[in-house]
Structures are given as structure tokens and as C-alpha cells.
Amino acid sequence: MANEAQTQIMNDLVIDRNEDFIAKSEQLKPELVRETVRPQNFVEVVADPAVIHGWRAQAIESQAEQSYGKGDEFILDFGTHQVGYVFMQIRPVGSPPDAPLSLKLTFGEMPVEMAEPFSEYDGWLSSSWLQEETIYVDVLPARIELPRRYSFRYIKFEVLDTSRKYRVAFDDIQCQTVTSADPSCVIPLHHKDSLLAQIDQVSIKTLQDCMQDVFEDGPKRDRRLWLGDLRLQALANYETFQNNDLVKRCLYLFAGVPDDRGRIMANVFIAPSLIPDDIYLFDYSLLFSTTLHDYYFATNDKETLVELWPSAYRQIELALERLDEHNIVKDDKSWWSFIDWHQELNKQAPSQAVLIHAIKRAIEMAKVLGSDKQAFLEERLQEIVTATITHLWDEEQGFFVSGAEKQVSWASQIWMALAEVLEPEENRQLMNRLLSEKPEIVLTTPYMYHYLVEALIIVGEKEKAVEQLKAYWGEMIHDGADTFWELYDPNNKDFSPYGSYLINSYCHAWSCTPTYLIRKYNL
């Protein structure tokens, strides 16, 4: 394929662009489904220490006929989470306008974003992700079309200034929502458990709002295609919207811009053109292979499997290069594997398990293709599984250990269970031991909670899987989620790896999988 590739140098990263793959991804670009949504209530946000982040929204009497002057403000509630473009009519009230209108708009997915000023934000992610705008309107009346796409439920309007002679009134405030998901494709779920039914619906809404030109990780923040999120979104999509061409498009986007070693980056930007980020994650690159496996077995699209198999196999080859003389992933400062947002989590053992998990799925793809790589993969799999039990299994503790300090974490046990390193009964005992002994290095994201629930299902503990699913995502609903969040720790509800919960994403792709778990496994 060398004649189809174009070399691009970017921040010391040499990218080999495959223009054929990129062209195929463009042909699969979806048409967006649009809907006009209007606000349902005026609300006020009041302090309440009993709710998450200490703020809740409550409906107040309609102010629809009211006009506003300097210093006035109001908050609108659109009833549920929205992703789209905002329009409004603004007209003057009183004397002819003799000065521009200065108007500040703040968009929030949660009540706290309406209450705590963004000016006090002190996290390490850019404050430009916080959704606020100050606009000036020189001529009134006017129809205002805000050019940016927003992710929100609430909008706060603050009239910063008019003049002493006039006030303003707002008419026909609306949002034109956008998504590449077609709700009519989802088969209704009539579940006897009302909480699971509700979790299913919130999961679907989360996925819907993250399905745009690609599977975005979050429509508020990052707004790009990440491999870890894609894998989970694709699984949820197969059980709901079945927009399988969008999965295919995303696979071709990733395969279109590897580096000169064939490494697939952890995420890509698609505007103004396709650009890979300069972040390479050990576990995420392996998830390209896993996602291709899942896609083929969901669609039987062998043409795509044939074309993307070399890219998928290359990720396995690269991961194997990281093994030491004992066939264990080398753990030093020269790599980055995501696994979960926990500052103290050692990534060696869970990454070893991700590799085993990926190799097993690569073998299944090799069998379909009749690939000569199958025998090599099977031989290496056996060697790596044997090494894993020899060097990472602690018989006395009954847990897998990770790193020089032999850390015991939830993530290590979960991924080892998913990789089915142990025999089935031993695997089941491992997960039950994890639930009873509760190691200190816990889970922090819905991303890893998905894998916890799925691991319990895999080992035959379906009832415990349901308990965990309801305790985690059900508690999120109890705390006000109308779409599921990027981060949630039931024991530390203000948790943020970014230094502030204001910057957290409250509609996030990797939290959408309960609908997959419920529907796929008949929970």
C-alpha cells in the first residue's frame, strides 16, 4: 500500500497517510439527524448540600413576557441533555436602542455550571472548554444564531448592559439538535426492572448525543474520536442504533493515519482535516484490533476485515515488542497505558491482560481470514499466558500483582478475568474474591466499571453484575444524570482528575454501555 501513502511530519511524529482509507472514511460520513427543541422551564439554582456538587435546579414561575435590563439574568431548562445549535429572537422594549446589547450566555450540563463562576476555575485542562459566550448585538430587533455547537441542559442569560433607555425581551429560544443516531432504529426494551429500564434509556441518550460525524468521546469536552471510547460505543451501537457504517468510518479514520512504525494513535481530530494526536497508548492501540474483531462479528463485513487486518495485526506486533525476556510487559517511564484514571494505579498487569485479550481476538480474525499469522499468534499466546501465571499470579493472596511493588488493584483482576487467563472456576473465584476483599486501588470511571460488570458476566456471576450495574449507574441517575458522566466515584462525588468538576464531561461516550450489557446479556 506504499504507493497509496503520503508521509506527513507533525511534531516529530512521522505520519504515513493512507489516502485510500481516508477516502473510504469520507464516503461513510453520516447525514446528521436534526430536531428543534425548546426550553421547558425557567429555573433557579439553589444551594443544597444534599445533592451532588451542592447545587440543584428548581422550576420557578414563567417569565416569558418579561423584559430585562442591565444586571438582570435568568436560567432556562431544556428538560434533558441537548447537543446542537442555539437560535433566538431579541427585541428592544422601550425607547429605540441607543447602544449595543451586551449579553453573556453560559451553557451547562449540570446545575453547578449555572451557579459557580467559571472565572474561579483552576484546573489543568484549558478553561476554553467551559461553555460561555459574551456577544454584542448592535442592531435590534435581531435573530441571533450562535455559530458554535453546545452540549447542555441549562442556559443562563445575563444582560451585562443595554442603556438606560431600553430593555430587551427574548422570543423563540430554541436548539437545533444534531446526531447521526436514528432513534427509530432502536428496538424498545420492555424490562420488568424499572431501574434497569431507566438505565437503558439514559445509556441510549448518552450514546445518541455522542454520535456525530464520528463517535465523539464527549460533545462538551474533547469532542474527538478516541479508541477506548470507540470500542465501547460500537458495542452499544450494535444493540441499539445499528449505525454500523459509523463504526466502519471510525476504523478507517484510525487506520488512515498511522505513524511510520504502523502505530495507531489513541485519538484523531477530523477538522479541519484528519490529523492524529501525538498520544500513543499501549492499551488503546490494542483496542483497534479488538474493535475490528467486534465489528466483523457484528456485521460479517469481510471486505473491511481483509483491508484492516494488517493494521490490526501490526498493533499486536508492536505490543509484543514491549515484552521483556520473561514475556511480561516492561514497566518503566518509557510508555503510557491508560487503563483508568487513578494516579496510583500500576498499569503493568492490566496491560498484560489487555494484550492477551487482544491476541485471542486476533486469532479469531486470523482463522476467518486463513492467515498464516494464526500459528504464530497461538504459540505466543500460550507463552504469554504461562508467563503471566508464573510471574504475576500471587498464589498466597489469590490475586494478580502489578509492578515492582506487586500492587493489587481492581483493574488488574478485572482485565485478567476478561482475558480468561485462569481456568473458568478459578476465574469466578478471582472475581468473587475481588468483591469481598476490595483492594485499595479502586475504579474511578464508568469505563472501568463497564469492564467490571462484563467480567462478572463472563465468569457466570450475572446477579452480581446486575447489582454492580444498578449500584453505579443507578446511583448516577439518583444524583441527577439524564446522560451518563465521564467520571463518577460514589464515595467521592467531587472527583475530577483535572482539578475541577466544572470541566468534567457529563455526557460521555465510555459511560453508555449499560444498554449493551442489559441487551446483549439479557440482564
pLDDT along the chain (523 residues), means of 10: 51 89 98 97 96 96 86 97 98 96 98 96 95 97 97 98 96 97 96 97 98 97 96 98 98 97 97 95 98 98 98 98 98 94 96 98 98 98 98 98 98 98 98 98 97 98 98 97 96 93 97 98 97
Own/partner pairs, 246-250, CB within 8 angstroms, 24+ separation: 246/28, 246/30, 246/180, 246/211, 246/214, 246/215, 247/215, 247/291, 247/295, 248/28, 248/295, 248/299, 248/301, 248/304, 249/25, 249/28, 249/29, 249/30, 249/214, 250/25, 250/214, 250/215, 250/225
C-alpha cell at 210: 455522542
Q: Which residues, other chains included, contact 305 with Cβ-Cβ below 8 Å and sequence gap of 6+? A: 292, 295, 296, 365, 368, 369
Distance CA(76)–CA(41), nearest Å, equals 6
Beta partners for residue 95, in sequence order = none
Q: Confirm if 412 and 403 have CB atoms less than 8 A apart.
A: no
Q: What is the rounded CA–CA span in Å between residue 413 and residue 93?
A: 65
- What is the Cα–Cα distance from 294 to 234, expressed in whole angstroms? 8
CB 207 within 8 A of CB 236: yes
For 228-295, what is the HEC assignment? HHHHHHHHHHHHCCCCHHHHHHHHHHHHHCCECCCCCCCEEECCCCCEECCCCCHHHHHHHHHHHHHH
pLDDT value of residue 7: 63
What pLDDT sits at residue 343?
92
Question: What is the full DSSP assignment across 301-366?
Answer: -HHHHHHHHHHHHHHHHHHHTTB-TTS-B--STT----S-S-TT---HHHHHHHHHHHHHHHHHHH
What whole-number distance in Å separates Cα of residue 231 and Cα of residue 513? 10
Multiple choice CATH, 34-179, 3.40.50.2300, 1.25.40.10, 3.40.50.970, 2.60.120.260: 2.60.120.260
Tell me the C-alpha to C-alpha distance, in Å, between residue 327 and each of 141, 320, 405, 504: 71, 8, 19, 38
Instruction: Determine what percent of the chain falls in helix, strand and coil, rounding each to the nearest 5.
Output: 40, 25, 35
Distance CA 117, CA 177 (A): 26
Query: How much is the CA Rg of the chain, to the nearest whole Å?
Result: 25
Rounded-to-integer distance, Cα 432 and Cα 413, Å: 10
State the pLDDT at residue 6. 58
Q: Cα dist. 156→43, 57, 77, 128 in Å?
A: 10, 12, 9, 17
Residue 102, judged by CB atoms within 10 A of its CB (0-12, 13-18, 19+), counts as middle
Neighbours of 295 (CB within 10 A): 24
**pLDDT given at position 2:** 36
Give the pLDDT confidence score for residue 3 in this predicted structure: 35
Determine the Cα angle at 296 with ends 290 and 298, to 5°: 100
Q: C-alpha cell of 262?
A: 504502523
Neighbours of 182 (CB within 10 A): 15
Using DSSP, state whether 169 is helix, strand or coil.
strand
- Check: CB of residue 377 under 8 Å from CB of residue 360: no
DSSP 5-62: EEEEEETTEEEEEEHHHHHHHHHTPPPPEEEEE---EEEEEEE-TTSGGGEEEEEE--
H/E element holding 518?
A: helix 514-520
CB-based contacts of 271: which residues, under 8 Å, 6+ apart? none
Ordered by start, the domain boundaries in the chain are: 34-179, 322-442
CA-to-CA distance for 90 and 104, rounded, in angstroms?
13
What are the φ/ψ torsions at residue 324 (nearest 5 degrees)?
A: -85, -170
DSSP state of 370: T
Question: What is the pLDDT, as a whole number, of residue 1?
Answer: 34
